[in-house]
Amino acid sequence: MPSREILEKSVLLSMGVFDVIWEKYITDSLESCDILFPMNTDKHAQNHADNLSADGPFDFIAIGDMVIDAFIRLNEDSKAHIIEKDNGAKEIALPFGDKIQFEFAEEVVAVGNSANAAVSASRLGLRSGLVVNIGKDHDGQNCLAELERQNISTTFVKVHEGKKTNYHYVLWYKDERTILIKHELFDYTLPDIGEPKCIYLSSVSENALPFHDTLATYLEEKPEVKLVFQPGTFQMKWGTDALKRIYQRTDIFFCNLEEAERILNIKKDTLENNHSAAHIKSLLDGIRALGPKLPIITDGPNGAYTYPSDRESTLDYDRVIHLDIYPDIAPPYERTGAGDAFASTFSAAYLLGNTVEDALKWASINSMNVCQHVGAQKGLLKKEDIAAYLSKAPAGWDVKVIN
C-alpha cells in the first residue's frame, strides 16, 4: 500500500493521462488490502440466474476476453507522425525521450471483441449473455455494472481472486489507433450455458488453447447451436491445425483481408493485385475449405466480400458479392470496434432471418456509426436506427456480384 506522503502527492497531479494511470495504481494498491470495493459475486450470480431462468435459452452468447480501454488522444499538431512502409503497412512514430502533447484521456469500460458483440446483439433485440473472466477488483466491478447497464446477462461472468481485470492503453492519433495490450492469464472454463441460438467466439489470452477443445466438444454435442468465429490475435497465432475442430464447426466466420492471407499462409509480396475478384474468391474458398460455411472478409474502406444467398438462404459458392462501406455521415472520429460492429451486426441480422445481402447492409451501417464515437460501443445502433439509415441510403449503394 502506498505511503501517506505518496497519496498526498497524487492530489497535486494535473488531470490527464497520468491521472488515469495513477488513479488505477492507487485503486489497485488499496484493493490489495481489501479496503475498498467488496464484490459479493455469489449474490450477484444468483440474482441473475433467478432473473433469467424463466426466460428460456439465450439468443446470443459471446465468449472472449473483456477489457477496459484507456484512450489517449494525441494532438494532430504534436510530434507524432505516421510512417508508411513499402508493403503498405503503417507505423506511428514518436520522438524517443521527448514530451508529447495530448488532448485528453478517456476510459471506456467493458469492451473487447466479445463484449462489444454482446452489446451489439442486445441493442438489436437479441437476448444476450457474456462468458468472460475478470479480476476481483474495482475495474471488474465497473465492468459488471456496465454490462448490466447494457442489458447483458452477467450470469456467466467468472470473478477471480488475485487476478486483475484486463486494462489496455489506446494511443489514438487522427482517426486510427495503436493499442498497448496485456491479457491476464485466466483459467478458462465453459459454464452451463444451455443451448443458445448462437455462440460468438472471439479474442482470448494466450493460455486459452485447451478451452477450445472443451467448446468444440460442446458444439459437436449441440448441432443446433450456431457458431460465429471472429478469431483474435492468439487464435490466429495458434494456426488452423490447432483449432481444426472449431473451424470445422463454424457457421459464420469473420476476418479482414490481411488476416485471411495470414490464416491461409499467403505471402503478400507474391501478389500482383490482392483486391482482384479472383484473389478475393480464392481467400473465401480457402477459408471455407477449413470448415466455415459462410466466411465474410472485410477490407476496411473497400467494404466487404462473401457469397450470395437466394430467398431460401442457400449459398451460391460460385459467385462473390461485394458491398462498399456505407458513406460516412461525417469524417471518422475513431475506428476502434468497427470490425466488431460489422461482424456482430451481420450475425445478429442473419440470426433474425435477414438474407446475407441485407445482413451486409446492416453491418456496414453499424460499423460506420461506431467510427463517429470514442470506443467500440457508444455508436452501436438499434434496429429502428439502422432502418432509418437504410431508408436514406444513397442511390447505387447496393450489393454487387464481382465475378
Q: According to DSSP H, which parts of 197-337 are helical?
A: 209-221, 233-238, 244-249, 257-263, 277-289
Question: Strand (E) positions, 65-163?
Answer: 67-74, 81-84, 90-93, 102-111, 128-135, 157-160
Q: What is the pLDDT of residue 90?
A: 85
Q: What is the pLDDT of residue 337?
A: 81
Q: What is the pLDDT of residue 35?
A: 34
Domain for residue 7, yes or no? no
pTM: 0.84
**Sign of the torsion formed by the C-alpha atoms of 217, 222, 224 and 226:** negative
Q: Exposed, middle or buried: residue 277 (CB in 10 Å: 0-12, 13-18, 19+)?
A: middle
Q: What is the pLDDT of residue 172?
A: 85
| Overall number of domains in the chain | 1
The string of pLDDT tens digits covering residues 193-249 is: 999 999 999 999 999 999 999 999 999 999 999 999 999 999 999 999 999 999 999
Helix axes 138-149, 17-31, angle to 10 degrees: 110
Most trustworthy range by pLDDT among 20-24, 31-35, 281-285? 281-285
Region 249-272: mean pLDDT is 87
Is pLDDT at 335 greater than 80 in this prediction? yes
Q: What is the pLDDT of residue 146?
A: 96
Domain for residue 114, yes or no? yes
Distances 67 to 142, 176, 177, 262 between C-alpha atoms, Å: 11, 19, 16, 25
Residue percentage of the chain with pLDDT more than 70: 84
The torsion defined by the Cα of 70, 128, 351 and 247, in degrees rounded to 10, comes to 70
Domain for residue 344, yes or no? yes
More confident residue, 17 or 353: 353
For residue 279, the enclosing domain spans 15-401
Distances 260 to 231, 265, 325 between C-alpha atoms, Å: 11, 8, 19
Domain for residue 339, yes or no? yes
Spatial distance between the Cα atoms of 215 and 64, rounded to a whole number of angstroms: 12
Contact (CB, 8 A) for 288 and 243: no
Choose among 316, 233, 289, 301: nearest CA to 64. Answer: 233
Domain for residue 246, yes or no? yes
Is pLDDT at 2 greater than 60 in this prediction? no
Domain for residue 159, yes or no? yes
Per-residue burial over 6-45, b if 16 or more Cβ lie within 10 Å, else e, is eeeeeeeeeeebeebbeebebeeebbeeeeeeebebeebb
Is pLDDT at 6 greater than 90 in this prediction? no
Domain for residue 328, yes or no? yes
Domain for residue 351, yes or no? yes
Cell representation of residue 203: 479474442
Residue 203's CATH number: 3.40.1190.20
